[in-house]
Amino acid sequence: MLIENFTNTGGTLEKQLGTAAYWIGILCTVVALVMRGLALAGVYSYSPTVGRNPLSYRTFLEGAILFFVMSTASTVIAWIKERKA
Query: Can you give the pLDDT of all 85 residues of the chain as single tens digits?
Result: 455 555 555 568 888 999 999 999 999 999 999 988 988 888 876 677 777 777 888 889 999 999 999 999 999 998 898 888 7
Q: What angle, 0 to 180 degrees and rounded to 10, lies between the N-to-C axes of helices 13-41 and 57-84?
A: 160
- How much is the pTM? 0.75
Closest CA to 25 of 66, 55, 56, 57: 66
- Give the sign of the dihedral formed by CA 30, CA 23, CA 76, CA 61: positive
**CA angle centred on 49, ends 69 and 70, rounded to 5°:** 10
DSSP secondary structure letter of residue 42 = T
